[in-house]
């Protein structure tokens, strides 16, 4: 502990976890460029559920895992890799990370993910710590987003008190949870853009990002330049189809940027609304600002059904 600058954690029976300049006990000794420590704070006032966004390879999973390891090390009586650590004793640590399938059991990656998620939702308590890494990525976009949103809200209000949760995601729509719930806090892993490239700063900061920099990360991973070029062309083509006021925004403090962020329920409905007065009335009266993603999808299906009926009668 002295050799690696570990500190003695302070344990109590309060509901919070506060780690200052925490480090991963294994990864910090394997990186040649040096490990970037981060602060993590969870409490039942304004930071019970942390929604963490950022590019692949930026360090989201590392922050999640080092937090779980520091809590585990503290409760087994060990010093911990941090400058300071105040740990509220937890009854269990639940994790849903990685992508694994069990072909011999007939279970796909998504089924394994849902089994583990179900176990968490059934057994986590207000004294637990939950680590979730990209829930819902193994299925279609809308299904995955709806599941991730519902899981987050379930943990936030489980047993009335809620569960301390770190939730890393590429579903940037989940950052809207902070608008609806006081105990949700948006954070992201900072990066710097430079000449169409990105530099990972590895620093966990307040706010959110609506970009995953997937093409830039693919280039860093060695994907052929011809594929990267084609991907950029396709991305530009897709972005042209999206109105300027509907495009994602850059990273920034939540309170300063909220009014510009797009909710999935605010996306334009792909319907021709002049097919009947009743259909037009339904579209115009939709309270999209207060719809959850799942409600928006169900409402869209209802409108589509009405449009198909109108088409048959005309």
Indicate the residue among 180, 213, 246 that finishes a domain. 213
Residue 252 in any domain: the answer is no
CB 275 within 8 A of CB 299: no
pLDDT, mean of residues 128-152 = 91
Would you tell me how many other CB atoms lie within 10 Å of the CB of residue 163?
25
Residue 295 has what pLDDT?
Answer: 67
Residue 114 in any domain: the answer is yes
DSSP letter for 238, please. Answer: H
Residue 263 has what pLDDT?
Answer: 46
Can you tell me the distance from the alpha carbon of 5 to that of 252, in angstroms, rounded to the nearest whole number?
Answer: 33
CB 233 within 8 A of CB 270: no
Q: Has this prediction a pTM greater than 0.75?
A: no
Residue 105 has what pLDDT?
Answer: 65
Same domain, 209 and 268: no
What CATH number is attached to the domain comprising 47? 3.40.50.300
Residue 85 in any domain: the answer is yes
Residue 194 in any domain: the answer is yes
CB contact set of 150 (below 8 Å; sequence gap of 6+): 292, 294
Number of domains in the chain: 2
Classify strands 38-42 and 49-53 as parallel, antiparallel or unpaired.
unpaired
User: 36-45, 195-204, 207-216 — which one is most confidently predicted on average?
Assistant: 36-45
Can you tell me the distance from the alpha carbon of 192 to that of 286, in angstroms, rounded to the nearest whole number?
Answer: 39
Is the pLDDT score of 277 beyond 70?
A: no
Residue 234 in any domain: the answer is no
Same domain, 70 and 153: yes
Lowest mean pLDDT among 91-95, 222-226, 253-257: 253-257
Indicate the residue among 180, 198, 213 that finishes a domain. 213
Can you tell me the distance from the alpha carbon of 263 to that of 293, in angstroms, rounded to the nearest whole number?
Answer: 8
Can you tell me the distance from the alpha carbon of 66 to that of 93, in angstroms, rounded to the nearest whole number?
Answer: 12
Is the pLDDT score of 99 beyond 90?
A: no
Q: Which residue has the higher pLDDT, 288 or 275?
A: 288
Indicate the residue among 178, 213, 248 that finishes a domain. 213
Maximum alpha-carbon separation in the chain: 80
- Domain region containing 180: 10-213
Residue 257 in any domain: the answer is no
What is the average pLDDT value for the chain, to the nearest integer?
A: 82
Of all residues in the chain, the percent with pLDDT exceeding 90 is 50
Same domain, 208 and 268: no
Any alpha helices (H) in 125-221, and if so which ranges?
A: 141-157, 177-180, 214-220
Can you tell me the distance from the alpha carbon of 183 to that of 46, in angstroms, rounded to the nearest whole number?
Answer: 4
Find, among 153, 96, 126, the residue nearest to 16 by Cα: 126
Is the pLDDT score of 264 beyond 60?
A: no
Residue 204 in any domain: the answer is yes
Residue 215 has what pLDDT?
Answer: 86
Residue 151 in any domain: the answer is yes
Is the pLDDT score of 124 beyond 50?
A: yes
Q: Which residue has the higher pLDDT, 46 or 284?
A: 46
């Amino acid at each position: 502990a002295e050799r690696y600058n570990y500190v003695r954690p302070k344990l109590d029976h309060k509901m919070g976890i506060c780690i200052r300049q925490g480090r991963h006990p294994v990864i910090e000794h394997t990186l040649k460029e040096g490990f970037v420590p981060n602060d993590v704070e969870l409490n039942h006032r304004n930071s019970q559920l942390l929604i963490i966004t950022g590019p692949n390879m930026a360090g989201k999973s590392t922050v999640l895992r080092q937090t779980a390891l520091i809590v585990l090390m503290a409760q087994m009586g060990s010093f911990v890799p941090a400058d300071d650590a105040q740990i509220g004793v937890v009854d269990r640590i639940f994790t849903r990370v990685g992508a694994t399938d069990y072909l011999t059991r007939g279970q796909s990656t998504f089924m394994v993910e849902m089994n583990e998620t179900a176990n968490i939702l059934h057994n986590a308590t207000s004294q637990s710590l939950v680590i979730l890494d990209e829930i819902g990525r193994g299925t279609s976009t809308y299904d995955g987003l709806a599941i991730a949103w519902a899981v987050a809200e379930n943990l936030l209000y489980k047993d009335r008190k809620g569960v301390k949760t770190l939730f890393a995601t590429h579903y940037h729509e989940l950052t809207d949870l902070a608008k609806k719930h006081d105990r949700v806090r948006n954070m992201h892993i900072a990066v710097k853009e430079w000449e169409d490239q990105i530099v990972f700063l590895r620093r966990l900061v307040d706010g959110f990002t609506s970009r995953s920099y997937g093409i830039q990360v693919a280039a860093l991973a060695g994907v052929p330049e011809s594929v990267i070029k084609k991907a950029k062309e396709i991305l530009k083509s897709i972005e042209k189809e999206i109105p300027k006021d509907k495009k994602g925004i850059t990273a920034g403090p939540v309170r300063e940027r909220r009014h510009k962020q797009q909710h999935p329920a605010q996306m334009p409905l792909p319907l021709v609304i002049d097919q009947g007065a009743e259909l037009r009335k339904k579209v115009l009266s939709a309270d999209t600002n207060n719809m959850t993603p799942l409600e928006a999808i169900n409402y869209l299906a209802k409108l589509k059904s009405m449009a198909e009926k109108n088409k048959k009668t005309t």
